Amino acid sequence: MRTKVAIIGGGPSGLFLSQLLDLAGVESTVLEVRSRDYVMGRIRAGVLEQGSAESLRAAGVSERIVHDGFVHEGINLAFSGGMFRIDFAGLVDRTVIVYGQTEVQKDLFAARDARAGIVIDEADDVRLHDVESDAPWVTFRKDGLEHRIDCDFIAGCDGSHGVSQTAIPGQVLRTFERVYPFGWLGVLSETPPVNDELIYANHERGFALCSMRHEALSRYYIQCPIDTDIGDWDDDRFWDELRARLPPAASDGLVTGPSIEKSITPLRSYVAEPMSFGKLYLAGDAAHVVPPTGAKGLNLALTDVVYLSGAIAEFYEHGSTAALDGYSDTALRRVWKAVRFSWWMTTLMHRFADGGEFGFRLQEAELDYLSSSAAAQRALAENYTGLPL
């Protein structure tokens, strides 16, 4: 089998890359280790930056986003029993769209199917070969048979536990990581959201987040110890704890109901450098992971793909490798800014056991400053809605 770009990973970054390359006249083949049903069933982030939404629209993947997505012009931050709003539209003239990553995944599958894109799922034992040469190739097993794909480039879009990153030699690859000493216990419920915009709550009992998927489907999170046994948390206990961490203005209107999904999400910051080696280019979680506090994970992946697809298209159209040579540096500049913002949001809103009362008072002071400073709010709004490409 021969293709121009072999894409490892059929999540949002892999499918989006395939879509953009197709629109630029560059053929690709996507390999995904899981089944399509499994990939489409994963529950992930639900906030699209304005730039991400515009990029999906330009790729012809926006009909349902426009119809079903919720445009949010701000978020709410709660602390010390009160709550204030960050007005994105008023501060930076930008918005975000609440639209689940699961739905983005479905839209991208539909877009690739509509253009007869080649997506091979349940591809086992994927291996990358000769990535430093001018003729890299990939092998995989499907239905008990081994297959080979010869290509010009390999795009590693297979997440932080995938095979792509391991193809970069240890003496070349540098990794940076911070593991947070807590996780998020999350519940999905068929109940109306407590607020029409997200609420981030800082409380002495721990962080809480009120989000939504649509007007009758809510997503709630509470900070929990990383070793929490999810079996210890029935619905009633979760709702009681969430209510305790919200200000009265929100908790009084909280509608509860049976959970339809419950999970614990660990939090970490992770960056791998460089994001390219030979003819291999990493994108999305294969190169970086951020805590979900800043709503940056999916958006960073989509931005990587915009950079990478443009660089590959430039090569085939003009024969230039300038953008490909600069891809890693270009992407990492944006990645580290998003890592910083996600770290800042996480440290501002969560309770750290080793921080003590001193740390908690510092959080309160910063939130108090943020509530009254237009300049501080503008900086938050600029980062949350997405820095320019």
Residues with a known catalytic role:
72, 200, 292, 296, 384
Backbone φ and ψ for 356, nearest 5 degrees, come out as: 65, -170
**Element containing residue 141 per DSSP (H, E):** strand 137-142
C-alpha gyration radius of the chain: 21
| Cβ contact 298:45 at 8 Å | yes
Q: What is the Cα 120 distance to its own chain's centre?
A: 23
Q: Evaluate the CA torsion angle 365, 367, 371, 375 in order and state its sign.
A: positive
CA-to-CA distance for 258 and 256, rounded, in angstroms? 7
CA-to-CA distance for 236 and 231, rounded, in angstroms? 13
Query: What is the DSSP-derived secondary structure letter of residue 352?
Result: P
Report the phi/psi class of residue 292: left, alpha or beta, with left for phi > 0 and alpha for psi in -120 to 50: alpha
CA-to-CA distance for 254 and 247, rounded, in angstroms? 11
CA-to-CA distance for 180 and 182, rounded, in angstroms? 6
| Cβ contact 245:214 at 8 Å | no
| Cβ contact 173:165 at 8 Å | yes
- Treating both helix axes as pointing N-terminal to C-terminal, what angle do 50-58 and 297-318 enclose, rounded to 10 degrees? 40
| Cβ contact 184:263 at 8 Å | no
Residue type, 283: A
CA-to-CA distance for 96 and 383, rounded, in angstroms? 11
Q: Can you read off the two tokens belonging to residue 58?
A: 């330009």
CA-to-CA distance for 18 and 131, rounded, in angstroms? 19
What is the strand order of the sheet 5-8 is part of?
118-120, 28-31, 5-8, 153-156, 280-282, 276-277
Backbone φ and ψ for 13, nearest 5 degrees, come out as: -65, -40
